[in-house]
Amino acid sequence: GIDIRLLGPMPTPGIAYLTRTLHACAGIVISASHNPYQDNGIKFFSAQGAKLADEVEAAIEAELDKPMQTVDSSRLGKAERVEDARGRYIEFCKSTVPSSLSLKDLKIVLDCANGATYHVAPSVLDELGARVSTIGTEPDGLNINEGCGSTQPRNLQAEVLRQGADLGIALDGDGDRVIMVDHKGEVVDGDELLFIIAQSRQQSGMLHGPVVGTLMTNLGLEHALASLGIGFHRASVGDRYVMEMLGEKGGVLGGESSGHIICLDRTTTGDGIVSALQVLAPMVQKGVSLNELKQGMTKYPQHMINVPVEQRVDLDDCLPVQDAVREVESVLDGRGRVLLRPSGTEPLIRVMVEGEDGRLVKEQASALAAVVEQALRA
């Protein structure tokens, strides 16, 4: 007996925005996010346009296992299409930057990952005056995220250099992530984008509270923010945990290295288009390149090795592994860090070592991964 508003193919953050502004009780998206189409699942948003807490999702899953209850024909809900859904979202994205902002002097290559942003993202940039060249804008339902988008930016890097563009923007299939490419063809990842936005907000007096990253956030971001007097906290990996910690710490800005950036002073969830605009605005206002904007942060070399596992294991009680971790930490001597964590989506243990010396980091990561592999076989 529920009434449905059909939006058609839309970026995930567009669903979040329209759920809130159309005063719906919930938003539902079918999406594989940054993954292949075979991984399609269901995402839910609350009436406020926010992702649901773990316990709420678990309760929904439990309800799905129960017999379905239906109503009689006189009480059936109605389904209607929102014809101007794209237009509403395009206008919202544009509203997150000053109305006077013009991108007319920027040549941008845009990779839409053959996904949900293929129409709205070019429209937003075009309507703001940018000269836009696109790749990954021919979705067929099967080619989403295939060799393109924020997880595979090689084609974008090549196109930026070939066209002599000012920068490139790569979104993922459902549009909640973004990474960028500067005019030199160098990738600017989520940590660097988060730094640029935080610095811009601070300079305009609009940064409230600390910035939140994750356990995987590069140490360089933490140090760069500290040099600006900006607080920083690490949440568990996953945008919902970043969101939770922002609420706990009273912050408005957080994100992940993958390009999942949350600007709570602009929207309620990670939004690739909106995040890109928050980077383009200070570029234009200062008259500098993307490469210049990222210079305030120096990334630490980081090496990660994925160790396959047959089932989830707890390495906290494994003495050989914990001894190896302490040994690596001793070698790094306070100038780096070690992280062991199970993947949330794959049967893997992620072994990450980060520090000032790239060669040493790689050596120590390999040594630690070997100990983990041996412990798993024991």
For residues 268 and 50, give the distance between their C-alpha atoms in angstroms, rounded to a whole number. 6
Is 33 considered catalytic here? yes
For residues 132 and 264, give the distance between their C-alpha atoms in angstroms, rounded to a whole number. 27
Tell me the chain's radius of gyration from C-alpha atoms: 22
For residues 127 and 35, give the distance between their C-alpha atoms in angstroms, rounded to a whole number. 29
Give 56-63's long-range contacts (Cβ < 8 A, gap of 24+).
Answer: none
Q: Which of 92, 163, 162, 83 is nearest to 127 (CA)?
A: 92
Contacts of 80 (CB under 8 A, 6+ apart): 3, 4, 5, 6
Amino acid making up residue 150: S
| Integer CA distances (angstroms), 221 to 71, 194, 254, in order | 54, 8, 12
For residues 152 and 147, give the distance between their C-alpha atoms in angstroms, rounded to a whole number. 6
Which of the following is catalytic: 33, 123, 200, 275?
Answer: 33
Q: Which helix (H) or strand (E) holds 260?
A: none
Q: Which residues are catalytically annotated?
A: 33
